[in-house]
Structure formats: C-alpha cells, structure tokens
Amino acid sequence: MDTRKFVLHNGVVVPHPGFGTCKIQEGEVCNTVLRALEAGYRHFDTASLYGSEEGLGEALRKSGIARGDVFIASKVWNTDRGYERTKAAFAASLERLGLEYLDLYMIHWPANRKQFGDRAEAINAETWRALEDLYEEGRVRAIGVSNFLPHHLEDLMKTARIRPMVNQIECHPGWPQLEVLAYCREHGIVVEAWSPLGRRAVLDNPVIQETAQRTGMTTAQVCFAWLRGHGVLALPKASDPSRMKENLREEGTLDEKDMKAIDALEPMWLCSDPDTVDF
C-alpha cells in the first residue's frame, strides 16, 4: 500500500494525516483549526458528540480556503441511531458546520448486544441504510464506521448495499488491533487511527524511546511510522503550532524487526470494548 496516498474504494482521495478535534474546548476550536490550516492540514475529523462542528465551520469560512480543498468528516452519535434519526442528525451536523455536503460520514459506535440484544444488528443495519442513502443522494462523498470490530462489519455486510469505506478505531503502539487491521485490509476498508499516540506511557515506553534514538526520529514520529507501516491513516490532535507541523512531517520508516517489536508491546489502551460499552 502507498501510505502517502490513501484512496478509498470508491476513488475518493483522503488527505493525511488528518487533524482530530475531539476534546478541544468549544471556545478554542476555531482558532485551533485556523492554526492547523495554516500549518498545512486539509483533513479535519469531528463528530456531533465533540461540540466542535460549529467552530470548525467558522474556521473554514474565515480561512478563505476553497471548500473542495478540505476534507471534512463527522459522525452520528449513539442516541441518533436508526434511519430517520440518523438522517436528521446528518442534517444538523451540516447546519452546525455551515456546509452543503460532507466528505465522510460515519457511525460513531456499533449498537451492541449488551445494550440491545438481538436488535443490535438491525439497528446498525438501519443506521447504515441512512448513510447509504445520503451517499447515493450525493450529500456525502464517502461513508464509513468507527469502533467496529470484524464481527460488527460481518453483520453489517449481510444487508449492506455499499461496503464501508473507512473504519476509524483506536490504534497506536500498545493497542495495535492487528486483527481489525487485517480484516479491513482484506476487504478494502481504510483504517483511520484516533489517538494515534495513545497515552503518555506510549511515548515514554522504552522500546519506542530506543527506536527513536536509533533511527533519529522523535518518539511521535516512531508512532506515525509504525502506523504507516500498517497502512493506517493517523488523526493526531495538537494545539501548539510547532507540534502541528511536526505531526505533519512523514519522516522515517521502520524495518520489519522494529515493526514486530512495537506490535508486541504490552497493552496500553484508552478506550472501551465496543461489545461492552453502555453509552
């Protein structure tokens, strides 16, 4: 895979790395995005849950950058699952962003059996049907999912007309999700990594630090190189302009030995199991 050119299975090209807008204070979103645009980012990831859609839209208008030169992704939150509610949530996201279309729209989390029992599969199918219709109506250029494991994707494909183009998951050293990566690679689904640097413990890990010293990369660049080695698109977040620019630089590669050593790190994960969450 050419990791400098992420192309979805419908031919849409995704700028990378992307810029994550989760957990940015609402009043800081506009200025943070403007700094990111100035640094060179052209792919921004948001969600109705994040509270960053309005600030992101404001920054895009203030920047003067042509709409076609930026890639904007958002997600439908769990309380809006189902066909009609998903379509309404999409319209609300567009209104908050002040846009006429999105480049990518995703299901934020799969409905699981813990919460919904035997109805979970049908709920995901109806939510996905809404995304398929939005895509076919030309209101979004690509559709995907987030936090889906292979068995969620298998269930979804029983009734789907369109295969997901993206699966956005937590992915970083210490939480590689290699089975998910292998499944998505086999089925032509691009994986995006939220929290690509994990917790501080990832950057402080001796294996990551030793690899950085030996290769001349920063510890963050080692993490990004590892993601590229697995064909994963990173979605870092930063507020400092110098860090933004550092995260944009795609410097260095890792050999097979380094990749396997990082693959084998002890678990250092942030998120909940998609099969057991109850939010």
Q: Which two tokens stand for residue 90?
A: 């999409």
Strands (E), 77-204: 104-107, 143-146, 166-170, 190-194
Tell me which amino acid residue 255 is: D
Whether residue 183 lies in the annotated active site: no
On whether the CB atoms of residues 17 and 233 are closer than 8 A, the answer is yes
Instruction: Give rounded-to-5 percent helix, strand, coil for the chain.
Output: 45, 15, 40
Positive or negative: CA dihedral 20, 102, 108, 29: positive
Question: Pick the catalytic residue: 41, 50, 105, 183?
Answer: 50
On whether the CB atoms of residues 212 and 223 are closer than 8 A, the answer is no
Which residue's structure tokens are 């109805």? Answer: 119
Residue 100: count of CB within 10 angstroms of its CB: 8
188: three-class secondary structure by DSSP: coil
On whether the CB atoms of residues 181 and 230 are closer than 8 A, the answer is yes
Find, among 147, 162, 200, the residue nearest to 12 by Cα. Answer: 162
C-alpha distances in angstroms, 20 versus 29, 83, 146, 242?
11, 27, 14, 16
On whether the CB atoms of residues 41 and 238 are closer than 8 A, the answer is no
Positive or negative: CA dihedral 48, 52, 57, 63: negative
Residues known to be catalytic: 50
